[in-house]
Amino acid sequence: MQTVIERIDKATAGLDAPIAVLDRETLRANAADLVRRASGVPIRVASKSVRCRGVLEEVLGTGLTAQDGFRGIMAYSLREAVWLVRCGARDVLLGYPTLDAGALRGLTADGVARDSITLMIDDVAQLSAIRAAIGTDRVHPRVCIDVDASLRIGPIHVGARRSPIRTPDQAATLAREALARGFDVVGVMTYEAQIAGLPDSSPAVVLMKRASARELARRRGLVVEAVRDAVGSLEIVNSGGTGSIEVSVADRAVTEVTAGSGLYVPTLFDKYRSFEPHPSLYFASVALRKPTPSIATVFAGGYIASGPAGKSRVPVPVWPKGLSLLRSEGAGEVQTPVSGAGSVQIGDRVWFRHAKAGELCERFTELHVVEADGSCSSIPTYRGEGQCFG
């Protein structure tokens, strides 16, 4: 039986490398698996982990709204969110605060965008900046409160450094202040990075995740109750990521979960116990040199993922089998040598997997999409549509 790599290699044989290739059959299977894991709780697609409008449309439908267990988008930039609304999206939650005055003025001027986009806040100073940028009290922006979901044990902090809002009183105070300043408080978000973004690499990590999930479930319920007491009913209680879907949906307070990386499944998601990884996105480059019989040097390939520098952030050669990066050079800006390449000749292609989902799309203007029957088409990435949101 033909493997995914063999199928996409054959389907794209006539294309010049470097190329990024998406296997649609695997993408659809991954989407279905995310829905299965969410157990009926709607999934909001994290666009930062996708960065391709064609893939968003595959998951959400051409209207970028809702389809088969998925609902809405979590954007990472306000300019991106406004652009997506102009492309048809009608439910976009901004995952991070924004101080982009120009984009805020654009939001104010566009009634559809105002109704479709929810801003993220975690500080009174952000409210002041937003109000100053939009320049009027007549507009009532929709806002969601980002609540710190990290685990704290005494002085030890486990998780991302995000929001300063942690307790029910802090969340309720910010909610009341936002309401008093003319904002519509519609939601609460908790992103447990120490669960969602950390592989199950050891028994200690697994125990930490369990302890964190218990603490967060208790605290999140109290936070949501406090915010509801302050401002009334909430439309959104968002939580989670690809690696923590089961933990998030177990909490009845959660109304939706966020996922995106699980569509492409980069190497950072290879060691989770909650699901079996099936990569759908790969890239290939061409061998230009043979400095030794066992080493081939391919063009480019240094697509290093964000996060703490180290082995987990570099791409991994996966085809032909048995290849590895050289410790002395790694993946390079213009060339990448791989060892174990006795079978690789000049002109042959080497296939890689990248470490972090959507970031690969910042390197390519298009994804070549391979169907189950071996046919191939292409769709533009954000970059290919002339969009760069940082």
Beta-carbon contacts of residue 174 (< 8 Å; ≥ 6 apart): 121, 122, 123, 124, 145, 165
The predicted pLDDT at position 197 comes to: 67
pTM: 0.93
What pLDDT score does 191 carry?
Answer: 86
Write the single-letter amino acid at 41: V
Query: What is the Cα–Cα distance from 231 to 70, expressed in whole angstroms?
Result: 27
119-161 pLDDT, tens per residue? 999 999 999 999 999 988 899 999 999 999 888 887 888 778 8
| Phi, psi for residue 187 in degrees, rounded to 5 | -165, 170
Q: Is the pLDDT of residue 278 over 90?
A: yes
pLDDT (tens digit per residue) in 78-100: 999 999 999 999 999 999 999 99
Query: What is the percent of the chain with per-residue pLDDT over 90, rounded to a whole number?
Result: 79
For residue 290, the model assigns a pLDDT of: 97
Contact 132, 125 (CB under 8 A): no
Phi, psi of 129 (to 5 degrees): -65, -40
Indicate the burial class of 373 (C-beta count within 10 angstroms; 0-12, 13-18, 19 or more).
exposed
- Determine how many CB atoms are found less than 10 A away from the CB of residue 133: 17
Superfamily of domain 24-260: Alanine racemase (3.20.20.10)
The pLDDT of residue 262 is 96
Q: Which residue has the higher pLDDT, 216 or 326?
A: 326
The band of 75, judged by pLDDT with boundaries at 50, 70 and 90, is very high
Predicted local distance difference test score (pLDDT) of residue 296: 98
Distance CA 195, CA 121 (A): 22
Average pLDDT, the chain: 93
